[in-house]
Amino acid sequence: MEYRRITNINDPLFKQMHQLMQDVFPPEEVLEFDLWKEPLEDPGIRVFVAVHEDKVVGATEYRYYEDFNVAMTDFTIIGQAGLGIGTYLAQNRLVDLQTLAAENNKKLSGMFAEIYNPYKVEHYEFGGVKPMDPYVRREVLAHLGYKRLDFDYVHPSWNNDGEAVTGLDLCFLPMNEETNELPSSLIVKFLKRYYTVLSNRPDSWYSMIENLEKKEKTALVYF
């Protein structure tokens, strides 16, 4: 298996990756093909695919914020079972992020991720790929060390239509296992930066931000 970075919309591997996204994710979570041009060319956004026998069988997008010294996993896709794709992507992603942090003269402090909460939303099929099942993914990520940030999370739809997307939790993987809370200010700064690209954000998103700003700390809790 190869870990290949995509930086151009014309890369043949990107067409495969985008189709895989459409097969796995609900429509509101998939950015239109042509709108990927700028993100792929952005040096701060890292899009990698797992290639097995010339076929894209998995993908992950993530970014590292030098000033926050945290990362964000935008998505992870496992295209089929039985190849160890999830482990392969997670291991290669972590090595890459630790290298980026070292270049920033720091040790990575942790990584954010949005995780579907199957206890809130059960109808997503995720292309029928069992490793993508929300219950399975939640357990896997819990074993990796992710914890849920203890607040009601909403995010703006990637359709940029101002709709709120619910049914997800914002989680964090601390590199220090003893970390059990985060400064709320870090979460707020991160979310404002992360969603700058979306001009239409729902009122519920702004209310969420306001509530976070009222708290000094936000607890990390087990799933």
DSSP state string for 100-129: HHHHTTS---EEEEEEE-TTT-----GGG-
pLDDT at 25: 80
- What's the rounded Cα separation, in Å, for the pair 175 and 70? 10
pLDDT in tens, 104-132: 999 999 999 998 887 776 555 555 556 66
- When the candidates are 3.20.19.10, 3.40.630.30, 1.10.287.3510, 3.40.50.2000, the CATH number that belongs to 2-221 is 3.40.630.30
The predicted pLDDT at position 138 comes to: 77
Give the C-alpha distances (Å, rounded to integers) separating 207 from 15, 117, 151, 203, 221: 37, 21, 12, 6, 22
- Domain-by-domain residue ranges, the chain? 2-221
Q: Are 62 and 74 in contact (CB under 8 A)?
A: yes
Could you read off the pLDDT of 138-150 as tens digits, one per residue?
A: 787 888 899 999 9
Ranges of the chain with pLDDT below 50: none
CA nearest to 29, candidates 37, 18, 40: 18
Give pTM, 2 decimals.
0.89
Name residues whose C-beta falls within 8 Å of residue 66's C-beta, 6 or more positions apart in sequence.
104
What type of residue sits at position 45?
Answer: I
C-alpha torsion sign, points 31, 132, 173, 114: positive
